[in-house]
Amino acid sequence: MSDHAQHLQQLAAQQWLIPFFPLVAAAIQSLLPRSARRLSATLTILAMGMSCLLAARAFWATLPVGEQHDEVARAFFNFTWFRFGTTALEFGFILDPLTAGMALMVAFVGFWIFVNATGYMAEDENFTRFFCFLSLFAASMLGLVVANNLLLLFMCWELVGLCSYLLIGFWYFKPSAAAAMKKAFITTRVGDIGFFIGILMLYQHTGTLTLYNAEGTGALQQAGSLGQLAGWWGLSLAGTIALMLFIGAMGKSAQFPLHVWLPDAMEGPTPVSALIHAATMVAAGVFMVGRMFALFTANAGDWVMDFVMWIGCITALFSATIAVAQFDIKRVLAYSTCSQLGFMMMALGAGGLVAGQFHLLTHAFFKALLFLGSGCVIIGTHHEQDMRRMGGLRKYMPITFWCYLVGMLALAGVPPFAGFFSKDEILVATYHHNKLAWVLATAAAFLTAFYMTRQMFMVFGGTWRGGQHDAHGNETTGHDEHHGHAHHEPHEVSWNMWLPLVVLSVFAVFMGWLGTPWLAGNLFHHYLAPEMPAPEHANIVVVLSVVVGAAGILLGWLIYGRRPMQHAAEPDPLAGTLGGLFTVLNRKWYVDELYEATIVRATQALGTLFRAVDKLVVDGILHAIAWIWWGVSQLFRWIGDELIINGGFDAGCESVRGGGRLLARLQNGRVQTYLRVMALGAVVLVAIYFFR
Amino acid sequence: MNAPILSLITFAPFVGALVVLALPKEADRAIKWVALVSSLISSVLAVIALAQFDPAGGLQFVERVRWIPALNVDYHLGVDGLSMGMVLLTALITPLALLAHWKLIEGVKLFFVLFLFLQVGMFGVFTALNFFHWFIFWEIGLIPMFFLIRIWGAEERHYASLKFFLYTLAGSLGMLLAFAFIYLATENFDFVALQQQAASGELRRALGVLVTDIERVTGSEWDVGTLLNVMFWATFLGFAIKVPIWPFHTWLPDAHTQAPTGGSMVLAAILLKMGVYGFLRIVLPIFPDQVVANLTPLLLLAVASVVLGAFAALAQNDFKRLVAYSSVNHMGYAMLGIFAAVAFAPDVKDVVNEKAAALNGAILQMFNHGISSAALFFLVGVVYERTHTRQLDEYGGLRKVLPIYAGVLGISMFSSLGLPGLNGFVGEFLVFKGAFPVVPWAAMLSLIGLVVTAVFLLQMMQKVCFGPLNPRWAELPDMTGRELFIGAVLMLFMFGIGIYPQPMLALSNDAALWLIGMFEQRPDAVLTMVP
């Protein structure tokens, strides 16, 4: 074993430290009183800083060394969690480029989001609790990333879901937040059932859930042989398991048709949206598919990869159309996130592991930037989220504006910003795989540029339209104490809020160069998957993606920029052009209504049905038995008392009579029945004994 | 000679009850302390027993005394991996339930005496190895609970207590008759002996002799197989009602809803486990052929408990009824694991370990449900004491005024939901891990339950704690130190088992393997295939 391999081994055994610090912070914070605000925030940020340093050290170690580099640097550390039967369930941690890159991104982006949150949540009375939840989230998310075991990954997966639930509902007193938190948890849990089945199947057929082990018998190391066995629906066993896991990823990464929870999740405080619902947790599905990629590709004949690609493609386009017609600044970004996650999934489905993971990383930076920027806007405008009541913020919030612009350009795919390169890689991968998907994805890219331009002009262009409608403003705020400020003009936010924007902007500008074929033949590709061939470049794809990006921006400028909105009550110019379609888009294709009318209604109906079955059928039968028993005992009383037995026995039967009656009325409990029945049993026993 | 530790555990509360009876009615404080201390003595002894317990050692701390020679009845006690966890659970939950009623004002003496008797019955059931006194303990559990519901219960207590009592009693009658037949055939009430006779085929032979006798006397024709089947279903019914398995569960929501807090805690945490334990100690060892032959309907009932229990919970608007229905759902998982562990599946790779996962999971699920259901019922009680309502619609936003309560409720709710990191997950995962390869269809159907469980629990949480605060509750005080202590003890177990389940699994694993081995080695298992 070389020195480098040994070093990796040592680091892998220390991977648990990365989630450990935030976990300890969360544990301490859970016991802190409400007043310990400063301490709580400090703990969270310090712990995340530690994680970030550790992640950076691990990342450094996975970087290619020397000239020869055609193998992935991978080390792992496994240990026993518990034993059952004659076997044991192992847990483990892994260090490889996929994990190291993701962990560094999570810790780094998370760190800056936490800094921003100290400003965003400054006036919240549950500030301490908020940072406790953030720490717990960070620990779970980092645990998910460093897990070398699918069960451990799944456990962390559920825990990030828990934190998402807690943080979406952080302003639990709002009925909308209380509903959104539940919806998020349940929708993702539906997907998790698929994930769970995948885990059970994988465990059954490989005998382990450890992904890699030194003996080469890890679950992923057996993927090839699973690809040779038959599974369900014409898939190989590996493909079936992959499909099941992907259903889990669809829930977590808000893929159509399980996307409905993500927009509602915007009920949470904006740093939460940036961290959980843009940069990290929602990308966990993409990460997991990347982690389990060997199963997806185990059998080339499986349709599971096409399924992944088409779900991604549909999600990318579908969500982009909805984003065009939203007015809530965060909802636009939420649908954009859905759409971008769709891009990533599509890339994976087209075989572009590197492209998908690269877009995951770049997207995390610029989408976190955009969300934090929207948070700054919300604070700067005194808790306004409706873009119609914004406008002209460029003047009031210059730093936020410039950073937001960088994020917008990155998302819109304008060269040379980060999103351009990563999205381009995706389009290239798709182009080689399926032309129709590529066309649809290009259309989605066009819409992306369009709706981001629309947002830029509505928020930052024109003149300030706020304060015009303060009578019904502030519906969306969680801070009642802010109502008084509604008349004030917008203002720039404090340094702790804008500094993270600046830092993230730097990455949104330059990060894309890591994954471009024009620089050292795609550095990121060589880092993540040196064993895979880099996709051939296609000039038409590049040209077209630049063209549609420019066209989208141009169209946005034509509609929203040339003549800015003057008044908050003005209808959207697009509403006139698109007519009814705009309403359909604004109402999100009525998917929520459809689910409400079908699945939700059916579930409730089943509940009512089975409650009624218990009350009417089961209890009905019971009561009928009781009545019959009463009738029979009356009969026996009559026969026994009146016809056969003389008066001397009557006194004894008084209680029997009482017993019969009480059974029927079920109101009057006496232990006599019990004794009577016991006596009956004894008589039967004695009878049997004598007859023997 | 070793101290008879199991007898001491069982009868320490009995002594406590006698002392309480001797105390004057007005001495509330003394009564409560005597009750708590005597209950805690059992707990301490149970921990001592645990320290000396060898999971691989089979039945331990065995006490065997000739009791009624004429009937060949021994006083026979012992614990193994199947019962040790249940003894610990009883030792843990009962003192907490007593503590939950520390502020009781009316009928203190009777309440605590009944509770101590109840504890004697529960310990007795989990330690007895002879049907004769096992059945006495089994029925002893009924009577104090009947009065606890009837005297300290809520508005519908008369109906509920009677339903509980008669239903459970009626259920155990069939079992009593079945054992009467067994006794007539074998002149034996001893579980260990009966298990061996069942395994060797001796039991069937002896029943055959009995049947010929009956035929000779009555002139009618009997069939041993049918008789055994009837005996099996009669015994099944007795335990199925107790568990409860759908559709024998309707006494449970009524009894739970009406029972006082401590009664509900013990009822859910321990009394239901007596039913599941009955399957492990009696039904499986004594009627192995019948279990295997009837596995499909048995699995269907387990699945029905999981799924229909969850759906019925969804439609409840009474906080306590909802939690009660969650017990039906959760016990369904345990039954699924148990039935999966005895299913015949020769094609499955490494089948013994799959079954070991299922059975260990089921046993762990029993313990876990004891923890989480006790916590949930306790928390219902906490909020009921303050609001005097159980209607979910009437709460709302309580987290605002009761933040600590909301936190404890949230953790307990997630424990029940099976969130990783908390105890419930480990048990459910193992049950599914084992059941999925062995009985895939039953496991797949039960997965529906996992979603619906989440729906009704989160809905409950939303209605109680989230949304705008109902102004009626603006002045509610949060949990007191005593209440928080009870919650904290239970949460300690939720986190402890969730993070490091190894000690709990080590406790049951050898016994589980023994039970599975009994079924794996049956030569006739091949004849009774399971789909």
Mean pLDDT within B17-30: 90
| DSSP code string of A493-557 | PPHHHHHHHHHHHHHHHHGGGGG-TTTTTTHHHHHH-TTSPPPPP-HHHHHHHHHHHHHHHHHHI
Q: Are A376 and A400 contacting, i.e. CB atoms less than 8 angstroms apart?
A: yes
Mean pLDDT within B235-240: 93
Q: What percent of chain B has pLDDT over 70?
A: 98
Question: Is the Cβ pair A84, B360 closer than 8 Å?
Answer: yes
Evaluated on CA atoms B264, B269, B275, B278, the torsion sign reads: negative
Q: Is A604 on the interface with B (CB under 8 A)?
A: yes
Q: Which residue of A has its CA nearest to B146?
A: A669
Q: What percent of chain A has pLDDT over 70?
A: 88
Q: Which residue of B has its CA nearest to A187?
A: B451
Alpha helices (H) in B388-501, listed in sequence order: 398-401, 403-417, 423-438, 440-465, 481-499
Question: What is chain A's mean pLDDT, rounded?
Answer: 86
Residue A683 has pLDDT above 50, yes or no: yes
Mean pLDDT within A134-153: 95
Q: Is B455 on the interface with A (CB under 8 A)?
A: yes
Q: Are B439 and B298 contacting, i.e. CB atoms less than 8 angstroms apart?
A: no
Rounded to the nearest angstrom, the gap between the alpha carbon of residue B203 and the centroid of all alpha carbons in its chain is 28
Residues 6+ positions from A91 with CB-CB distance below 8 Å: A78, A79, A80, A81, A147, A148, A149, A151, A152
Give the separation between CA A313 and CA A426, rounded to whole angstroms. 11
- CA-based nearest distance B312→chain A, Å: 5
Give the separation between CA B293 and CA B488, rounded to whole angstroms. 45
pLDDT of residue A669: 41
Q: Are B158 and A668 contacting, i.e. CB atoms less than 8 angstroms apart?
A: yes
Alpha helices (H) in B101-201, listed in sequence order: 108-127, 131-140, 142-152, 157-186, 191-200
Residue A486 has pLDDT above 50, yes or no: no
Q: What percent of chain B has pLDDT over 90?
A: 66
C-alpha separations of B498 from A85, A245, B414 in Å: 19, 24, 11
Chain A residues closer than 8 Å to B237 by CB: none
Chain B residues closer than 8 Å to A172 by CB: 397, 399, 465-467
pLDDT of residue A479: 45
- CA-based nearest distance B4→chain A, Å: 31
Question: pLDDT tens for residues A56-90?
Answer: 999 998 887 655 566 778 899 999 999 998 999 99
Peptide bond into B13 cis (omega under 30): no
Q: Which helix (H) or strand (E) holds A405?
A: helix A398-412
Residue A483 has pLDDT above 50, yes or no: no
pLDDT of residue A685: 58
Question: What is chain B's mean pLDDT, rounded?
Answer: 90
Report the residue from B150, B177, B353 with minimal CB separation from A681: B177
Question: Is the Cβ pair B399, A172 closer than 8 Å?
Answer: yes
Question: Is the Cβ pair B180, A603 closer than 8 Å?
Answer: no
pLDDT of residue A537: 79
Report the residue from B159, B452, B509 with minimal CB separation from A85: B509
Mean pLDDT within A441-470: 87
B181-187: Cβ within 8 A, 24+ apart: B181/B207, B181/B210, B181/B227, B181/B231, B182/B207, B182/B231, B182/B286, B183/B131, B184/A688, B184/A689, B184/A692, B184/B210, B185/B209, B185/B210, B187/B72
Can you tell me whether residue A589 is helix, strand or coil?
A: helix
Chain A residues closer than 8 Å to B353 by CB: 84-87
Residue A468 has pLDDT above 80, yes or no: no
DSSP state of A480: G
- CA-based nearest distance A306→chain B, Å: 26
Mean pLDDT within B480-484: 93
Residues 6+ positions from A642 with CB-CB distance below 8 Å: none
370-399 of B, contacting A, C-beta below 8 A: 397, 399
pLDDT of residue A473: 42
pLDDT of residue B522: 61
Chain B residues closer than 8 Å to A204 by CB: 348-349, 354, 436-437
Range of weakest confidence among A82-91, B93-102, B217-226, B330-339: B217-226
Mean pLDDT within B309-324: 92
Q: Which residue of A has its CA nearest to B156?
A: A667
- CA-based nearest distance B38→chain A, Å: 28
Look up tokens 């182009």; give the residue: A431
Give the separation between CA A31 and CA B204, rounded to whole angstroms. 61
Mean pLDDT within B26-49: 93
Give the separation between CA A587 and CA A581, rounded to whole angstroms. 10
Q: Is A669 on the interface with B (CB under 8 A)?
A: yes
Question: pLDDT tens for residues A167-220?
Answer: 999 999 999 999 999 999 999 999 999 999 999 999 999 999 999 998 889 999
- Amino acid (one-letter) located at B233: W
Residue B528 has pLDDT above 50, yes or no: no
Residue B212 has pLDDT above 80, yes or no: yes
Sorting pLDDT into bands at 50, 70 and 90, what band is A491?
A: confident
pLDDT of residue B1: 45
Range of weakest confidence among A414-418, A632-636, A646-650: A646-650
| Length of chain A, in residues | 692
pLDDT of residue A475: 42
What is the pTM (predicted TM-score) of this model?
0.91
| Length of chain B, in residues | 531
- Amino acid (one-letter) located at A159: L
Mean pLDDT within B461-474: 90
| Ramachandran bin of A216, using left for φ above 0, alpha for ψ from -120 to 50, beta for the remaining angles | left
Question: pLDDT tens for residues B92-109?
Answer: 999 999 999 999 888 889
Range of weakest confidence among A256-260, A655-659, A679-683, B471-475: A655-659
Look up tokens 């699973």; give the residue: A226
pLDDT of residue B201: 86
Look up tokens 């619609």; give the residue: B393
Give the separation between CA B97 and CA B90, rounded to whole angstroms. 10
Q: Which two three-digit tokens encode residue B133? A: 């006194």
Question: pLDDT tens for residues B292-314?
Answer: 999 999 999 999 999 999 999 99
Nearest to A256, CA basis, from A332, A185, A312: A312
Question: pLDDT tens for residues A540-555?
Answer: 888 999 999 999 999 9
Question: Is the Cβ pair B250, A207 closer than 8 Å?
Answer: no
Q: Which residues pair with B173 in a beta bridge?
A: none
Sorting pLDDT into bands at 50, 70 and 90, what band is A670?
A: very low
pLDDT of residue A529: 82
Range of weakest confidence among A343-357, A557-571, B405-419: A557-571
Residue A662 has pLDDT above 70, yes or no: no
